[in-house]
Amino acid sequence: MPKIVTGGDAPQQTVVSENVSPEENVSNETQLSTVENVAQQPQTYQSAQTPAGMFATPTIVNNTVPVVVFVGPPSSGKSMILVRLAKYLRNQGYTITTDPTFLNTPAYQQDCQEFNDKLNTVVALSGTVKFLLVNVYQNGREIAKLLEAPGEDFYTTDPELIRQGKNMRVEPYLATIMTSTNPKSYVTLLDLDSDISFRNDQYHRDSYAQRFLTHFYPAINLDRDRIVLLYNKIDKTMFGTINGCTDAKGARKDAELYYRQLFARMRGGLFNMEQFVFKTFCTGMFAKQMDNLGNEYQTYNVADDIYPRELWKEIVKKW
């Protein structure tokens, strides 16, 4: 497996427990130079544990439960897919809770609060939500965790962040999660119709695909994990509406046209069907609203269950 995934350029602040041994109490910078280093040093992250049993860096405590990782640049739709999936699963009888141990910051608590407040409504999550770890329980047993991370940790178009090398590294917390023993499904968004609109921006489209292939893909355990290439916001195209995808073949052809290198890597006969799949998705139709203080927010008409139903089927296929 290539050793190209780096994670140490911008180590996150670590709260060091007083109980850790000197061997454990080493800086993130030296420990996290590659994804493989991270995999060999999971105990280092225990040192980020605070006395309250919570973490100051994003940390998944449970090493066995399957994790759904939503991969996509800012505005590609990760949060809203997570919310849509959670709504669907709850209606199917699953229990949905936010995971309080993931990150011990006021901002994370606020993100969780926002998720919980909006789950029962048709008000979209605001763009301020950065991190979410949502636990899914079936008959009292935890069956999955859904992870949302800031889009810029997957790809940024911000010139200043690019200059700082943001697209050339993987954040240490992500590297740790990717190399953990949890089975994972990567829902990788093909960004075509976000605000950034990769449909109209070949440079960023290609470099997002390239970044995925060089920085993330090598850390994915294809024997165990699965990649769902997801063409989101399909309602913005001629291939689907909020009621369903009307032309799956056309959508795939369109996606292949825009993401040749990604599909070239993922193709490869029947064998690969276990590892990769292409799907379309739509959360809903969005409309801008204004509250009485003049703040803008969005509501959405929830799209058909067929989208989360089919996505969930693919996510759990290998579990």
Ligand X SMILES: Nc1nc2c(ncn2[C@@H]2O[C@H](COP(=O)(O)OP(=O)(O)OP(=O)(O)O)[C@@H](O)[C@H]2O)c(=O)[nH]1
- CA dist., res. 156 & res. 89, Å (int): 31
| Binding piece for Mg ion, criterion CB under 5 A, among 28-36, 73-81, 87-95, 295-303 | 73-81
- CA dist., res. 178 & res. 37, Å (int): 12
Which residue lies nearer to ligand X by CB, 48 or 315?
315
236 binds, among ligand X, Mg ion, none (CB under 5 to 8 A by kind): ligand X
156 binds, among ligand X, Mg ion, none (CB under 5 to 8 A by kind): none
118 binds, among Mg ion, ligand X, none (CB under 5 to 8 A by kind): none
Residue 40 Cβ, how far from ligand X at the closest point, in Å? 30
265 binds, among Mg ion, ligand X, none (CB under 5 to 8 A by kind): none
Which residue lies nearer to Mg ion by CB, 208 or 276?
208
Q: Which residues contact 43 (CB under 8 A, 6 or more apart)?
A: 24
Token pair 């970044």 is at which residue? Answer: 211
225 binds, among ligand X, Mg ion, none (CB under 5 to 8 A by kind): none
Query: Could you list the residues that contact ligand X (CB under 6 A)?
Result: 72, 74-80, 124-125, 127, 150-151, 232-233, 235-236, 282-284, 286, 298
Q: Are 183 and 194 in contact (CB under 8 A)?
A: no
Which residue lies nearer to Mg ion by CB, 108 or 276?
108
Residue 79 Cβ, how far from Mg ion at the closest point, in Å? 3
Residue 58 Cβ, how far from Mg ion at the closest point, in Å? 14
Which residue lies nearer to Mg ion by CB, 31 or 283?
283
- CA dist., res. 120 & res. 114, Å (int): 11
76 binds, among Mg ion, ligand X, none (CB under 5 to 8 A by kind): ligand X
Q: What is the DSSP letter of 55?
A: B
**Whole-Å CA distances, 178 to 38, 174, 184, 251:** 10, 6, 8, 29
Q: What is the DSSP letter of 212?
A: I
- CA dist., res. 278 & res. 188, Å (int): 10
79 binds Mg ion (CB under 5 A): yes
Closest chain position to ligand X (CB): 151
- CA dist., res. 59 & res. 50, Å (int): 12
Which residue lies nearer to ligand X by CB, 125 or 311?
125
Residue 296 Cβ, how far from ligand X at the closest point, in Å? 11
Establish how many alpha carbons lie within 13 A of residue 153's alpha carbon, considering only the half-sphere containing its beta carbon. 20
235 binds, among Mg ion, ligand X, none (CB under 5 to 8 A by kind): ligand X
Residue 225 Cβ, how far from ligand X at the closest point, in Å? 21
233 binds, among Mg ion, ligand X, none (CB under 5 to 8 A by kind): ligand X
Which residue lies nearer to Mg ion by CB, 48 or 311?
311
Q: Would residue 165 be called left, alpha or beta, if left means φ above 0 and alpha means ψ between -120 and 50 degrees?
A: left
Q: Are 244 and 204 in contact (CB under 8 A)?
A: no
Buried/exposed 46-66: b ≥16 CB within 10 Å, e otherwise: ebbbeeeebbbbbbbeeeebb
Closest chain position to Mg ion (CB): 79
- Residue numbers at the binding site for Mg ion (CB under 5 A): 78-79
